[in-house]
Amino acid sequence: MEMTPTPHNGAKKGEIAKTVLMPGDPLRAKYIAETYLENPVKVTSVRNMLGFTGTYKGKEISVMGGGMGMPSMGIYSYELYHFYDVDQIIRIGSAGSLQDKVGLMDVVIAMGACTDSNYAYQYGLPGTFAPVADYELLARAAEAAGKQGTKTVVGNVLSSDIFYNADSGVNDKWRNMGVLAVEMETAALYMNAAAAGKKALCMLTISDLVFGEEKLSAEERQLGFGKMIEIALEL
């Protein structure tokens, strides 16, 4: 039974590339497509979650918004892997730094993703699953960043369901465990990839300091992540 288009994605089968770059913000997806891709075509706009397919250095690639939070990432990445035959998704997002060594505009490559979410409950596992990146994509990203001269930090991130947490000390606890940064989607993406036998990687540009005052504006978040985008495109 043909599953495309879906209730959340208006693209037809074959209109989405094997590799998808996935920012959270659909307007960032539009910016990436118009700035970096050759001959980009809008393939979906359901619920204004924009998606485009074009080419980069002759290779077909898609870019699509993923929304905020694990439920949203869970839906879009699941459909891409299972209904559109996507092989790899590279999340390019923003995060708040939890460590002094990770500064504004640094790029964090998420080797693993801790989470306070119950997303893994669906798998009925007899223990705690550790969501991790595809190592080949991670190694290539680190190499590309090194050639580019961009400061990157590789390690663990936190994917949280809660943006405004009633526990005022929660970030101190994750900081004490060496977690680099906090965001809201990576764990779900890594779990969906594992369950589907596909590849995933998350790269995050630091947009604010959880234990500091500095932060990027909304416009800077949308348009200022060029180095991270260029690394992702090289993958």
Catalytic residue numbers? Answer: 208
Among 131, 97, 132, smallest CA distance to 117 is for 131
Residue linked to tokens 């606890």: 173
Closest listed residue to residue 106, CA positions, set 224, 217, 194: 224
Cα-based torsion angle of the residue sequence 191, 85, 66, 130 in order, rounded to the nearest 10 degrees: 10
Burial class (CB in 10 A: 0-12, 13-18, 19+), 226: middle
Distance CA 217, CA 3 (A): 39
CB of 159 closer than 8 Å to CB of 115: yes
Q: 38-44 and 51-56: which strand pairing?
A: antiparallel
Question: Is 23:32 a contact under the CB 8 Å cutoff?
Answer: yes
What is the rounded CA–CA span in Å between residue 137 and residue 131? Answer: 15
